[in-house]
Amino acid sequence: MKKKSRKKKPAAKPLRLADVRESFGDMIRDLHTTIDEFDDEELIRLGCDADPYQNIVRLVETRDGLFAVKHNIPPEDDPDGAIADFNEAIDAAWRRLGEKWDAAVSRFPELAESLRDEPGNIRIEEDRTPFQIEVEELSANIAEARQFYNKLAAQFEAEPGNAEVAALMLELDDAFATGNRRISALTARNFRQFLIDVDGQLRDELDELDEQELVRSGLETTPAQHILQYANLVQQSADAFMNLHPDDNPQQLLNLFERTIAEARRRFKAKRAAAEARYPKLRREYPMDDDYQKALADLLEAIAARDELADSLKFATPADRPEGLRLLRDLDAKIEASEAALAAEYEAEQNRGRALDALRDEIKFASAAELRELRKYLKDNPEEMKDFQRLLADEFPDLD
């Protein structure tokens, strides 16, 4: 028995968070009622075209629409909290529908078996969304049909006038076009789910990151490493996004991915700066060169000599004491000057090391647009950026 074709969806209305929040509770209650009260036999016949399934799809689309515009929503309105509520409601709705489907199949096993190989059966699993499952099944079916198509093509080449084979090939061409269009739509939906999962993961990891660990480890922390991994994935996935059907808004998906990573970078930098200001003593200490170490050793020797002279003056004769005190004052002045000079040199070297590390981290953490700006700055300011250019040449030769 052939299932009904998919319904045409109504045009989406502009999304307002206040409206969504106001209607959210009623929306979820109505969805649960639709799932619970829908006829079991009709659910098996219609599958993914049944109202319960399509209503969950609309809930997913509302959540995806909210995620797409959340950067325009004031933080005090808590768009992330609203998205989290949607995620929880969507997961619960899929579980509820899965239980409903299993119960329906148990009641009407013969009907379910007769439609088992028909497209559009509801598939719900714990670790995969129904959209992911459908993509995998469609892809496998298309691959199998493609093998059959290749056999037909070989047969038609041997029998150019075979009208039956030609008709089958045309029918398969139409099926491929329909299937690929469906795969594109589902893949876009899966991408959106992936972006929402990534956004939530990065937020949770950064919220839970210990500030002292952040100061000590910087870009070696788990959130930073994941941000870098996802940033690389953006670059690697650009072509895959562009292979989607134009109606699935591939450029918008790519922009959302880039915006998600950019926001995660911004939040990481802000938390790191605050942590470093709170725990300055945890910052890395940079080694000093041999000249500094020799000057420090000379200073320690001078301090030891000064202490020895001071001790000897306790037993000096009145005639020798004035000269000894003069020598002591001279040593104190030289020691004070040396300490000030070494402290300034130490601070300058530590600041230089921090600046180079900051630049190194900025480059590792930068987006493509930020790297372009850095290239331009280095080109326009060659003298000011000598140390930075040297670092770039050694560690980032591709920036030249």
- Residue range 276-298: mean pLDDT, rounded: 88
3-state helix, strand, coil in the chain (%, to 5): 80, 0, 20
> pLDDT tens-digit profile of 90-139?
999 999 999 999 999 999 999 999 998 787 888 888 888 899 999 999 99
- Here the contacts of 231-240 (C-beta below 8 Å, separation 24 or greater) are 231/261, 231/265, 231/367, 234/258, 234/261, 235/368
Amino acid 13: pLDDT: 53
What residues contact residue 317 under an 8 Å CB cut-off, 6+ apart? none
245 pLDDT band, cuts 50/70/90, is very high
**Percentage of the chain modeled with pLDDT above 90:** 55
Tokens (6 digits) for 136: 């995998």
Q: Is the pLDDT of residue 360 over 90?
A: no
pLDDT in the model for residue 1: 44
Q: 293: closest CA among 348, 342, 334, 344?
A: 342
**Structure confidence at residue 340 as a pLDDT band (50, 70, 90):** very high
In the chain, domain spans: 16-117, 132-283, 289-352, 366-400
Does residue 278 contact residue 211 with C-beta atoms inside 8 Å?
yes
Q: Which residues neighbour 282 within 8 Å (Cβ) at sequence distance 6 or greater?
A: 212, 215, 216
Query: Which pLDDT does position 100 carry in this prediction?
Result: 95
User: Cβ distance 280 to 264 under 8 Å?
Assistant: no
3-class state of residue 122 by DSSP: coil
Residue-level pLDDT at 395: 59
Nearest to 265 by CA among 328, 202, 177: 202
When the pLDDT of each residue in the chain is averaged and rounded to a whole number, the result is 87
Rounded-to-integer distance, Cα 73 and Cα 308, Å: 71
pLDDT band at 14 (very low <50, low <70, confident <90, very high): low
pLDDT, tens digit, 9 for 90 and up, residues 306-328: 898 888 888 878 888 888 888 88
